[in-house]
A and B are shown apart, each in its own frame.
Chain A
């Protein structure tokens, strides 16, 4: 019994030491630079995801880390969360920056601050089952079932289109990637919306049953970082760092490393 008690107190001591160490380490960390909490999406390879070591990873994270290196007055810390909760956490003041290849639109711009510099091309195209040719533009989607992610800009575009044209497109909010790929290839869904890069990756990973519509874009856009409305100074600093990184080739290098393509290419 006594032996067990000794082991138990030993564990307690070790725990106490770890706690003290963490508090001191945290204190040393925070001194000087202003801490900035960055929220990163958790399920969007290769941009924003959780790596094998449970850490936020991807192109978005790499770009922000490079930005942080250029800005000694800030100390970025990264945290992964689900896409829809990124914006909610900015609302709640828990995050200073959110990123998962966010596109801008008037509704979002009214509520959040966007960096003026984009950091990735985000043109989107329609995706159909391999060999299908009857869908070219958003106008061809009337009466069709179209899969988009909840909370994405594509969803907003389709919902707005329906509101303006009197509910024509049947919008399907996609569950997991495997489910909607299976649906698209087997005709349960008529179309999806993706960037060329995401299309290439998804199509290759899941069996190559999809085609990308080459003529005409679904939407033309770039990806930006999202900040809380009052962070204009932080935005200007990030913009300056991004401009520098575009000029000296850092952004191209990171983009090639993570996505296999230049950040300007679709």
Chain B
């Protein structure tokens, strides 16, 4: 069987019909990851009691778990209790039939929170200790120091790394096929079921991911320039 680029086009169109799923999974999990991960990093930096100790133990553990296991474990961890509750509670019966994309979002966000918290921790550490001391010496509170002095410097350091995290999430989101979510990769594969043009479908999916990641890289460059300018 020879390679036939017509089928790449067919699969590309099928893949693009599922583009919103991949975008939703990667963007929402990046944003939720930042919302959850940044406070975690701050807790560790400022040694907030209990939270810092818990994060010190948990994050290295969670960092060592592959994304595919987040997806599979959360699938069962979310659905099993709902299935058990469905007999007695009407809301659980409704909830257990939810679109599986929510489980994908939960898994990717949890994964992203761990990764982003490490990014933010190293970003906070990259700001010299003298900057913190200078802030406190002129009477800024911790919140003021963070907002006005520390975070602007830390973010400039964090942006390229966050962009890398985002690219990782875009590519990583393709694993959701294990819980039967139809994303870009799944859409491309579905179009090859009758023709058996799987190589063409793989290539079509690769093209979409490449364009997405290249776009993310561009966005990062623009953001980096803005942060460097201030």
Contacting residues of chain B (169-206) with chain A, CB-CB under 8 angstroms = 177-180, 182, 186, 189-190, 192-196, 198-199
Say whether B178 contacts A187, CB under 8 Å. Answer: no
Contacting residues of chain B (72-109) with chain A, CB-CB under 8 angstroms = 72, 75-76, 79-80, 83, 86, 96-97, 100
Complex: how many Å from CA A105 to CA B199? Answer: 19
Say whether B79 contacts A151, CB under 8 Å. Answer: no
Shortest C-beta distance, B180 to chain A (Å), equals: 5
Return the contact of A159 from the options B72, B179, B180, B190 (Cβ within 8 A). Answer: B190
Contacting residues of chain B (212-227) with chain A, CB-CB under 8 angstroms = none
Return the contact of B83 from the options A84, A85, A186 (Cβ within 8 A). Answer: A186
Residue A179 CB within 8 A of the other chain: yes
Complex: how many Å from CA A174 to CA B189? Answer: 12
Complex: how many Å from CA A229 to CA B86? Answer: 53
Say whether B194 contacts A173, CB under 8 Å. Answer: no
Residue A108 CB within 8 A of the other chain: yes
Contacting residues of chain A (145-184) with chain B, CB-CB under 8 angstroms = 147, 150-151, 155-156, 159-160, 163, 171-176, 179-180, 182-183
Complex: how many Å from CA A173 to CA B79? Answer: 19
Residue B61 CB within 8 A of the other chain: no
Residue A88 CB within 8 A of the other chain: yes
Complex: how many Å from CA A171 to CA B192? Answer: 13
Residue A34 CB within 8 A of the other chain: no
Return the contact of B96 from the options A151, A156, A159, A186 (Cβ within 8 A). Answer: A186
Shortest C-beta distance, B108 to chain A (Å), equals: 15
Say whether A159 contacts B198, CB under 8 Å. Answer: no
Contacts of B194 in A (CB 8 A): 107, 156, 159-160, 163
Shortest C-beta distance, B1 to chain A (Å), equals: 5
Shortest C-beta distance, B126 to chain A (Å), equals: 40
Q: Name the CB-closest residue of A to B189.
A: A150
Say whether A87 contacts B198, CB under 8 Å. Answer: yes
Residues of A in contact with B, size category: 20 to 34
Complex: how many Å from CA A179 to CA B104? Answer: 13
Say whether A176 contacts B193, CB under 8 Å. Answer: no
Complex: how many Å from CA A158 to CA B186? Answer: 16
Residue A111 CB within 8 A of the other chain: yes
Say whether A91 contacts B199, CB under 8 Å. Answer: yes
Shortest C-beta distance, A166 to chain B (Å), equals: 16
Say whether A155 contacts B193, CB under 8 Å. Answer: yes
Q: Name the CB-closest residue of B to A85.
A: B198
Residue A201 CB within 8 A of the other chain: no
Complex: how many Å from CA A108 to CA B1? Answer: 10
Return the contact of B72 from the options A88, A163, A179 (Cβ within 8 A). Answer: A179
Known: A151-B198, A179-B75. A174 touches B180 (CB 8 A): yes
Known: A175-B178, A176-B178, A179-B178. A156 touches B97 (CB 8 A): no
Shortest C-beta distance, A230 to chain B (Å), equals: 12
Contacts of A174 in B (CB 8 A): 180
Complex: how many Å from CA A180 to CA B194? Answer: 22
Complex: how many Å from CA A5 to CA B192? Answer: 56
Return the contact of B1 from the options A84, A111, A151, A176 (Cβ within 8 A). Answer: A111
Q: Name the CB-closest residue of B to A148.
A: B193
Complex: how many Å from CA A156 to CA B189? Answer: 12
Complex: how many Å from CA A39 to CA B193? Answer: 20
Contacts of A151 in B (CB 8 A): 189, 192-193, 196, 198
Complex: how many Å from CA A160 to CA B179? Answer: 24
Contacts of B182 in A (CB 8 A): 173
Contacting residues of chain A (98-133) with chain B, CB-CB under 8 angstroms = 107-108, 111-112
Complex: how many Å from CA A176 to CA B179? Answer: 8
Contacts of B189 in A (CB 8 A): 150-151, 173
Contacts of A107 in B (CB 8 A): 194-196
Q: Mark A220-231, 1 if CB is under 8 A from B, else 0.
A: 000000000100
Say whether A175 contacts B190, CB under 8 Å. Answer: no
Instruction: Give the A-binding residues of B (Cβ under 8 A).
Output: 1, 72, 75-76, 79-80, 83, 86, 96-97, 100, 177-180, 182, 186, 189-190, 192-196, 198-199
Instruction: Give the B-binding residues of A (Cβ under 8 A).
Output: 84-85, 87-88, 90-91, 107-108, 111-112, 147, 150-151, 155-156, 159-160, 163, 171-176, 179-180, 182-183, 186-188, 229
Q: Which 6 A-B pairs have the closest CB atoms?
A: A175-B178, A155-B193, A111-B1, A159-B193, A91-B1, A186-B83
